[in-house]
């Protein structure tokens, strides 16, 4: 069965004639979150039948949804072949009201999505890596994660939100499908989330960062750096043997960054491994000449893990050191910590 969300609007226009029918179907998928072709009331019966025989609208089934005390919700989805992936709806800011009860600020959401079942990169601290690599997700399977989350939470079709490719898998190891999903998300007649609200996070496949840059999609780039010297980085992230820190920095310098944006460097902090101030010092020189923002992440513990969560004190000292030297640095709030929101953790409990 083919997945209808695998097609861009342009491709759907080739597939279904006359073109106004294709546009109606597009609207049913992306604005009305239709679950079946039968629901598409304004389509002729035989077209609905023909589509139902060939295509599915629901490539994902919810296995589980876990709500965290901060309002974030983590989803476990089953794909048509039985494998599972995760996505998380992160509530970044709750609704705020004026005194008269009128809405002052709407809720602000970020959706974290997966790009692969498992991952080939094999980072030592990552639970996704433990299950090995199974397969790439198709563009439609990537897009559907967001669609199902919007449908389940009654989020308006035209509602702005941010997308981060920070779930399971290495997005640049599945670049074609990820690039296609970026375009489908951005389609102004559909979900309409501009690429500058989409962030692709990578473990640092330098050659693919270059390739992504050449595609000039307008997406934001996040680099999972986690270590400032090659020796430690190789231990944490074996991919560093193929693409060392210098090659990543080079690739980032070539990357087309939106003038108002910065490249995000994620730094997963593990106690007594990479939380020393000497690392912060090295970060400053490493990122010299790059419009960068550093995001410190608390290591999220899991059973059998060889690493430990850092102390709050060491996080703040690390951040202060950088901020005082003019390097923008934030500490990622541990959204959904009580539902083990770090990638791979929900899936691991259930397989």
- Residues 6 or more apart whose CB falls under 8 angstroms from that of 225 comprise 204, 233, 245, 248, 265, 266, 267
Helix (H) or strand (E) holding 265: strand 263-269
128-158: b or e for each residue (b if 16 or more CB lie within 10 Å)? bbbbebbebbbbbbbbbbbbbbbeeeebeee
Q: Quick one: which of 16, 79, 119, 146 contacts ligand SF4 (CB under 6 A)? A: 119
Is 266 an interacting residue with respect to ligand SF4 (CB under 6 A)?
Answer: no
- Residue tagged active-site, from 86, 141, 170, 266: 86
Task: Report which residue's Cβ sits closest to ligand SAH.
Answer: 300
Report whether 304 contacts 293 (CB < 8 A): no
Binding-site partner at residue 299 among ligand SF4, ligand SAH, none, CB < 5 to 8 Å by type = ligand SAH
Binding-site partner at residue 173 among ligand SF4, ligand SAH, none, CB < 5 to 8 Å by type = none
Nearer to ligand SF4, 117 or 280 (CB): 117
Helices (H) and strands (E) in the chain, counts: 12, 16
Q: Is 328 helix (H, G, I), strand (E, B) or coil?
A: coil
Nearer to ligand SAH, 26 or 299 (CB): 299
Is 5 an interacting residue with respect to ligand SF4 (CB under 6 A)?
Answer: no
Classify residue 326 as left (phi > 0), alpha (psi -120 to 50) or beta.
left
Nearer to ligand SAH, 9 or 202 (CB): 202
Is 273 an interacting residue with respect to ligand SF4 (CB under 6 A)?
Answer: no
Is 225 an interacting residue with respect to ligand SF4 (CB under 6 A)?
Answer: no
Task: Write down the residue that tokens 């898998």 correspond to.
Answer: 169
Is 128 an interacting residue with respect to ligand SF4 (CB under 6 A)?
Answer: yes
Cβ atoms < 10 Å from Cβ of 263 = 18
Report whether 233 contacts 267 (CB < 8 A): no
Q: Whole-number minimum distance, CB 107 to ligand SF4, in Å?
A: 28
Is 170 an interacting residue with respect to ligand SF4 (CB under 6 A)?
Answer: yes
Is 88 an interacting residue with respect to ligand SF4 (CB under 6 A)?
Answer: no
Nearer to ligand SAH, 181 or 201 (CB): 201
Q: Whole-number minimum distance, CB 94 to ligand SAH, in Å?
A: 23
Binding-site partner at residue 141 among ligand SAH, ligand SF4, none, CB < 5 to 8 Å by type = none
The reply to whether 343 belongs to the active site is yes
Q: Whole-number minimum distance, CB 225 to ligand SAH, in Å?
A: 9
Distances 148 to 82, 113, 351 between C-alpha atoms, Å? 17, 12, 22
- Residues 6 or more apart whose CB falls under 8 angstroms from that of 161 comprise 108, 109, 110, 111, 155, 193, 197
Q: What is the DSSP string of 149-203?
A: HHHHTT--TT---EEEE-SSS-GGGGHHHHHHHHHHHH-TTTT---GGGEEEEES
Q: Quick one: which of 121, 172, 209, 269 contacts ligand SF4 (CB under 6 A)? A: 121
Nearer to ligand SAH, 7 or 125 (CB): 125
Is 137 an interacting residue with respect to ligand SF4 (CB under 6 A)?
Answer: no
Q: Is 284 helix (H, G, I), strand (E, B) or coil?
A: helix
Cβ atoms < 10 Å from Cβ of 79 = 19
CA distance 10 to 189: 11
Q: Whole-number minimum distance, CB 172 to ligand SF4, in Å?
A: 9
Binding-site partner at residue 4 among ligand SF4, ligand SAH, none, CB < 5 to 8 Å by type = none
Nearer to ligand SAH, 57 or 85 (CB): 85
Q: Quick one: which of 59, 140, 169, 195 contacts ligand SF4 (CB under 6 A)? A: 169
Q: Where do contacts with ligand SAH occur on this chain (CB under 6 A)? A: 125-126, 166, 170, 201-203, 224, 266, 268, 297, 299-300, 342-343
Interacting residue ranges for ligand SF4, rule: CB under 6 A:
119, 121-123, 126, 128-129, 168-170, 203, 224, 343
Catalytic residues: 86, 343
């Amino acid at each position: 069965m083919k997945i209808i969300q695998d097609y861009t609007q342009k491709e759907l226009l080739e597939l279904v004639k006359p073109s106004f029918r294709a546009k109606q179907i597009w609207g049913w998928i992306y604005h009305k979150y239709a679950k079946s072709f039968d629901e598409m009331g304004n389509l002729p019966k035989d077209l609905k039948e023909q589509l139902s025989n060939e295509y599915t609208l629901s490539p994902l089934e919810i296995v589980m949804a876990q709500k965290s005390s901060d309002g974030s919700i983590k989803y476990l989805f089953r794909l048509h072949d039985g494998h599972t992936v995760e996505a998380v709806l992160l509530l970044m800011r709750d609704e705020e009201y004026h005194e008269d009860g009128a809405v002052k600020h709407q809720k602000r959401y970020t959706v974290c999505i997966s790009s692969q079942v498992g991952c080939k990169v094999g980072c030592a601290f990552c639970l996704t890596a433990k299950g090995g690599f199974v397969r790439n997700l198709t563009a439609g399977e990537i897009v559907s994660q967001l669609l199902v989350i919007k449908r389940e939470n009654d989020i308006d079709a035209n509602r702005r939100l941010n997308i981060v490719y920070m779930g399971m898998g290495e997005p640049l190891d599945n670049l074609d499908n990820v690039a296609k999903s970026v375009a489908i998300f951005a389609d102004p007649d559909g979900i309409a989330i501009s690429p500058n609200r989409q962030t692709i996070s990578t473990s640092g496949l330098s050659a693919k960062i270059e390739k992504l840059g050449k595609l000039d999609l307008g997406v934001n780039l996040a680099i999972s750096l986690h270590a400032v010297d090659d020796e430690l980085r190789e231990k944490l992230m074996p991919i560093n043997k193929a693409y060392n820190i210098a090659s990543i920095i080079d690739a980032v310098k070539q990357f087309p960054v939106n003038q108002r944006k910065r490249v995000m460097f994620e730094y997963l902090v593990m106690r007594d491994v990479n939380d020393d101030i000497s690392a912060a010092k090295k970060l400053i020189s490493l990122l010299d000449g790059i419009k960068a923002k550093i995001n410190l992440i608390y290591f999220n513990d899991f059973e059998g893990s060889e690493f430990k969560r850092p102390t709050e004190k060491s996080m703040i000292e690390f951040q202060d050191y950088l901020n005082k030297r003019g390097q923008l640095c934030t500490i990622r709030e541990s959204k959904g910590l009580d539902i083990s929101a770090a990638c791979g953790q929900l899936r691991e409990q259930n397989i």
